[in-house]
Chains A and B, each alone.
Chain A
């Protein structure tokens, strides 16, 4: 089955800095890569996703890049704000009806 590794487990940045979270996956058949944000005590919510036919996708201050050859994808957050503080999860899904496999999460702390 799929295995997703996520690094770092915690990330502390100053407000305004950029933050990068990296994930690797094992199954070359995976072709859908979403990122979820989970605020304390709340449910995970999708913030951005990318499919394997695209190398990069941006949405305002967040972007995701995908390197299928190396089997890794990254989340980039620019101009971080305190409200970006949360746990971020990457996930991967292969074709067909397979489920999402999540990384263990990254706790992002943005200090004012």
Chain B
């Protein structure tokens, strides 16, 4: 167990819908990262938050947004879902911007 908790583990939804993925980082970790992993892709970085502030942005679509709350948990919101958004979404956390990143178990999103 990495100490990073992601909910839900599985999510099936229809095209056009909106979903929210939740991540609770390890105790003491201030930095949260979101990654997308499709079947034929590696780990695609979406966005990073550090202590409530956005720190880095990757290839995150405009339909996607995220935030980190005062208690340091983070949510990734995906809207106007398309079939191509089906993927495994990982959250990771670290003490700061460097150092080992611990991954959660991921949320498998299936858009039908």
- State whether B96 touches A97 (Cβ < 8 A): yes
Asked if B97 lies at the interface with its beta carbon under 8 angstroms from chain A, I say yes
Chain B residues within 8 Å of chain A by Cβ, number: 25
Give the size range of A's interface with the partner: 20 to 34
Contacts of B97 in A (CB 8 A): 93, 96-99
Binds A, one of B21-29, B62-70, B71-79, B103-111: B103-111
Would you list 27 pairs from A and B whose C-beta atoms are within 8 A, ordered by A residue? A6-B42, A32-B98, A32-B99, A36-B103, A43-B90, A43-B103, A43-B105, A43-B106, A45-B2, A45-B103, A46-B102, A89-B42, A89-B43, A93-B98, A95-B98, A97-B31, A97-B50, A97-B96, A98-B55, A99-B33, A99-B48, A99-B55, A99-B97, A100-B45, A102-B43, A103-B42, A105-B43
Residues in chain B within 8 A of chain A (CB atoms): 2, 31, 33, 35, 41-43, 45, 48, 50, 55-56, 58, 90, 96-106
